[in-house]
Amino acid sequence: MASKKSAVKAPPAKQSGMRSVRGAAQQSTGHGGELHQTAGTRDPVLTTNQGLPISDNQNSLKANPKGPTLLEDFILREKITHFDHERIPERIVHARGTGVHGVFELTKSLKKYTTAKILTEVGEQTPLFARFSTVAGGSGSVDTPRDVRGFAVKFYTKEGNWDLVGNNIPVFFIQDAIKFPDLIHAVKMEPDRGFPQSATAHDTFWDYISLTPESMHMVMWIMSDRTLPRSLAMMEGFGIHSFRLINAAGVSTFVKFHWRPKLGLQSTIWDETVKIAGADPDFHRRGLFEAIEAGQFPEWELAVQLFTQAEADKFPFDHLDATKLIPEELVPLQVIGRMVLNRWPNNFFAETEQVAFCPSHIVPGIDFSNDPLLQGRLFSYLDTQLSRLGSANFHQIPVNAPKCPFANHQRDGHMQMAQPTGRVAYEPNSLAPLSPRESPSQGFVSAQVEEDGVKGRIRAESFADHYSQARQFFRSQSPFEQAHIASALVFELSKVEHMHVRATMVGHLRHIDPSLAERVANGLALAPLPPAPPAAAPVKDLPVSPALQLIGKAKDTLEGRVIGILIADGSDAALIASLKKAIVAAGANVKLVAPKVGKVKLSDGSTLPADGQLAGTPSILFDAVAIVLSKDGAAALTKEGAAVDFVRDAFGHLKAIAADVGGKILLDKAGVVADSGVVAAGDTKQFLAAAKTRQWKRESAVRTLA
């Protein structure tokens, strides 16, 4: 039978360097109070802030094993409340964000399933505000670390604000919200040294993950190219949890929400990502800004997976477990609408920084499931906004205010901007017939769901399988993507100083895929292969799901891409004009790069201003490059390191390269050996075809992967 607790026990602490238990208590609490002791050990007992020993720090209190989380759980509330208030004023997580205004248009009615007008009125355009973010870094960190991306959308509907708050990955690290503070403490900068910033490649993160088998599915996603998006407009979004839709008859149907980008999916390569962070820390933010300024509005389809409780009972996993997804092959996606982002905020702080998303912001016809991670989020987000924005009146900030009429009897508080009139501030009342009152016919009604069972800190047995979907994800990837996952694990674990953490992680990988474990162990020079820890449930071989690939979801288009052309004095004017015309016609943007940012004198005597100076505009900022140089211009640039790196990096990052006779001189200097992705600059058709994708077959020739 599956164990209800599946965490692997940590190895005993080394004696060297350990403080006495009393000393540890004095340093950590700051007031000299002694911590409770476990009989016969030196480990302190975990307690609440009031000194109450905690028996279970892994599971929140539920009405029954698969039931809703109870407000009674004072341990959960204390832990998350303290966590929510740890930082002010920037967000504890998702601090580095980019927000944009837009509209949502419904294209298919879900009236059969819900009364929510935003999901029933086809053709209706609903204003919205979307915010994309990294998770681990502070507000001053870079745009491009290996990290999960937040994907949050605030719909200003006719019935109030609906916040669909998710990520660009459909699963999460943990199954229960009570574990969230521990997860984030582990991934953040280590508290004794203040680094690394916005990175998972360090001991505390992998120590925690190695002791949390439920995270293994998410580990596969974060080690994949999904966490290295090429742009914000080229990543998917997910609501993560199962929600409920409720129709006019009160019947509820489960739903999962998916955002699908019009431009398709594309990632960067790790070496490229690291260099982008140095060349342009605002790479994603700048790309979104420039696209909107140019009228190339990013667009996503909103799709849903709909299923009943009877259908869910037949799944080989529990859909209430946030570490699981529902494969598209099992429950197909239905596209119901589209989102277009078309307006940049007038003031970054006023809107992007002050926007407040809460999963508890829903409208009639939408409701929650018993997912224990979601249940905790319903409390945590509101509590966080009270801390960040300083007042229960944060809903009066313009970016947070509903665009439909709203009224209640809540009064006063810090930063109260409204001026309610009259003597009545309560309901029911008989003194103010026009004051706001409850509306049984129009108001929100929760799904009518029966709950029974014994309450307790217990996790459902159906949550015990931690490896099957991780195995499914890895085996669904293309060979190139599998190599990237293995190499990412080698890179990350090589930064971990404690050998037992590396060994434990490789042991987990044996459950996911033996070949993956061997590749990572070999990359770490770890021999013999560590044993696999006990699995809480048998590992299943689920069908592969091609929909889980990233490369497979790239679209045959140049829209949203940027192509750089390296030029210098004497470059062929006609060839430059021809390339620019073809690139723009294909839907991509063009940027000219030159040794000097001023005017470049071309072969016909005309001049052309460059968009970027060579040293500050490397090829890592482009999706493909063309090299158009005279022989003299090329000869001069062969002595310039930035020029040699321009083509060397483009080739190493698997990009298409077009070069004329002069350009070929620079390619030779950089040691570039022509393949199908290196073409003559005059062959624009072949160049643009190659520019639509990475030259994946080239990778084995330019780098060693695990």
Which residue spans within 413-466 are E strands per DSSP? none
Give the residue from 692, 609, 620, 607 showing the smallest Cα distance to 656.
692
Residue range 640-667, pLDDT digits in tens: 999 999 999 999 999 999 999 999 999 9
The dihedral through the CA atoms of 680, 651, 695, 688 has a sign that is: negative
Q: Which residue has the higher pLDDT, 50 or 440?
A: 440
Q: What gap in Å lies between CA 72 and CA 673, rounded to an integer? A: 67
Q: What gap in Å lies between CA 121 and CA 651, rounded to an integer? A: 50
- DSSP letter at 226 equals G
Q: Which helix (H) or strand (E) holds 658?
A: strand 656-659
Whether residue 672 has pLDDT greater than 70: yes
Q: Which of 94, 217, 258, 508 is catalytic?
A: 94
**Backbone φ and ψ of 502, nearest 5°:** -55, -45
Cβ contacts of 311 within 8 Å, gap of 6 or more: 331
Whether residue 188 has pLDDT greater than 70: yes
Angle, helix 203-210 to helix 180-187, in steps of 10 degrees: 140
| Amino acid identity at 380 | S
Give the residue from 435, 433, 389, 430 showing the smallest Cα distance to 411.
435
What pLDDT band is residue 35 in, cutting at 50, 70 and 90?
Answer: very low
Cβ contacts of 270 within 8 Å, gap of 6 or more: 146, 228, 484, 487, 488, 491
Is 48:40 a contact under the CB 8 Å cutoff? no
Beta bridge partners of 129: 101, 154
Respond yes or no: is residue 167 known to be catalytic: yes
Predicted pLDDT at 45? 76
Cis peptide before 89 (omega within 30 of 0): yes
Percent of the chain with pLDDT over 90: 78
**pTM of the predicted model as reported, rounded to 2 decimal places:** 0.89
Q: Please report, for residues 110, 362, 590, 627, 641, the alpha-carbon distance to residue 647 in angstroms, rounded to integers and kept in the order given.
A: 51, 51, 17, 8, 10
| Amino acid identity at 316 | P
Q: Which two tokens stand for residue 244?
A: 């409920």
Percent of the chain with pLDDT over 70: 94
The dihedral through the CA atoms of 508, 509, 513, 518 has a sign that is: negative
Residue range 191-221, pLDDT digits in tens: 999 999 999 999 999 999 999 999 999 999 9
**Backbone φ and ψ of 440, nearest 5°:** -60, -30
Residue range 315-342, pLDDT digits in tens: 999 999 999 999 999 999 999 999 999 9
Q: Rg of the Cα trace of the chain?
A: 28
CA 683 to mean position of chain CA atoms: 38
Is 654:597 a contact under the CB 8 Å cutoff? no
Q: Which two tokens stand for residue 672?
A: 């570039």
| Amino acid identity at 631 | K
Predicted pLDDT at 88? 52
Give the residue from 231, 133, 219, 223 showing the smallest Cα distance to 171.
219
Give the residue from 79, 81, 84 showing the smallest Cα distance to 48.
79
CA 554 to mean position of chain CA atoms: 18
Predicted pLDDT at 44? 83
Residue matched to tokens 């570039």? 672
Q: Which of 161, 167, 370, 589 is catalytic?
A: 167
Predicted pLDDT at 436? 87
Residue range 51-72, pLDDT digits in tens: 777 888 888 989 999 999 998 8
Is 687:626 a contact under the CB 8 Å cutoff? yes
Residue range 445-481, pLDDT digits in tens: 888 888 889 999 999 999 999 999 999 999 999 999 9
Q: Please report, for residues 158, 406, 587, the alpha-carbon distance to residue 403 in angstroms, rounded to integers and kept in the order given.
A: 7, 9, 35
392-400's contacts with Cβ under 8 Å and 24+ in sequence apart are: 393/417, 394/354, 394/356, 395/356, 397/350, 397/354, 397/356, 398/350, 398/351, 399/129, 399/154, 399/345, 399/350, 399/351, 399/354, 399/355, 400/154, 400/161, 400/354, 400/355, 400/356
**Backbone φ and ψ of 234, nearest 5°:** -120, 40
Cβ contacts of 152 within 8 Å, gap of 6 or more: 94, 130, 131, 132, 133, 163, 164, 165, 166, 357
| Amino acid identity at 314 | K
| Amino acid identity at 160 | G
Q: What gap in Å lies between CA 246 and CA 251, rounded to an integer? A: 6
Which range, of 178-182, 450-454, 543-547, 678-682, averages the lowest pLDDT? 450-454
- Residue range 31-41: average pLDDT? 40
Q: Which residue has the higher pLDDT, 429 or 142?
A: 142
Q: Which helix (H) or strand (E) holds 609?
A: strand 607-609
Predicted pLDDT at 9? 36
Give the residue from 101, 124, 120 showing the smallest Cα distance to 112.
120
Predicted pLDDT at 90? 82
Whether residue 360 has pLDDT greater than 50: yes
Predicted pLDDT at 87? 65
Residue range 547-603, pLDDT digits in tens: 999 999 999 999 999 999 999 999 999 999 999 999 999 999 999 999 999 899 999
Cβ contacts of 141 within 8 Å, gap of 6 or more: 95, 96, 134, 197, 198, 281
Domains of the chain: 17-55 (no CATH), 74-175+235-396 (2.40.180.10), 556-702 (3.40.50.880)
Predicted pLDDT at 266? 96
Q: Which residue has the higher pLDDT, 248 or 13?
A: 248
The dihedral through the CA atoms of 682, 688, 689, 692 has a sign that is: positive
Cis peptide before 196 (omega within 30 of 0): yes
Instruction: Please report, in angstroms and rounded to a whole number, the separation of the first and last CA atoms in the chain.
Output: 36
Other CB atoms within 10 Å distance of the CB of residue 14? 8
**Backbone φ and ψ of 285, nearest 5°:** -65, -45
| Average per-residue pLDDT for the chain | 91
Whether residue 46 has pLDDT greater than 80: no
Cβ contacts of 80 within 8 Å, gap of 6 or more: 177, 178, 180, 181, 376, 379, 380, 383
Q: Are strands 678-680 and 237-238 parallel, antiparallel or unpaired?
A: unpaired
Residue matched to tokens 């048998």? 538
What pLDDT band is residue 31 in, cutting at 50, 70 and 90?
Answer: very low
Whether residue 38 has pLDDT greater than 70: no
- Residue range 154-158: average pLDDT? 95
Residue range 488-499, pLDDT digits in tens: 999 999 999 999
Residue range 2-28, pLDDT digits in tens: 433 333 333 333 333 322 222 333 333
Q: Please report, for residues 80, 536, 591, the alpha-carbon distance to residue 85 in angstroms, rounded to integers and kept in the order given.
A: 9, 35, 45
Predicted pLDDT at 64? 92
